[in-house]
Amino acid sequence: MTNQNANNSLYGIIVADNNSIDNTEEIIDFIRNFSQYKINYIIEKKQGISYVRNVNREETPTECPFYIDFASASKDWITNIRRIISKIKPNVLVNPIYLLNLDNM
């Protein structure tokens, strides 16, 4: 995610730790030292993707968060996502991309 060609002030990265048993926090601290992007690390003890996404939503100051479950993306990935958001105006995007506009449901 840190190789994006989009302006780094347009997005941030949140890493959610959902009871990992590795050294995720140490790795994130190391990456923060070299990254020009804002990287937040949060811990969610309640097990499950829905709990993680809910805490991420609380921590994300944006109208349309985008959730991905991987750390690699093409350089223009965020630029393309922003195009989708500006055209369709979904409330939430989830990878793989499912467009949800809850206002129209």
Q: Is 2 inside a domain boundary?
A: no
Residue 92 lies in a domain: yes
Check pLDDT > 70 for residue 13: yes
pLDDT for 71 equals 59
pLDDT confidence of residue 54 = 76
Assign 26 a pLDDT band (cuts: 50, 70, 90): very high
Residue 105 has pLDDT above 50, yes or no: no
With respect to residue 86, please indicate whether it lies within any of the assigned structural domains: yes
Residue 50 sits at the vertex; the CA angle it makes with 58 and 99, to the nearest 5 degrees, is: 85
CA atoms within 13 A on the CB side of 42: 17
Number of compact structural domains in the chain: 1
Average pLDDT on 51-72 reads: 68
Task: Using alpha carbons only, give the angle 98, 41, 55 rounded to the nearest 5 degrees.
Answer: 50
Domain that residue 22 falls in: 8-104
Query: Once rounded to an integer, what is the mean pLDDT over residues 28-45?
Result: 85
DSSP assignment of 12-25 equals -EEEEESS-SS-HH
| End-to-end Cα separation, the chain, in angstroms | 32
pTM assigned to the model: 0.63
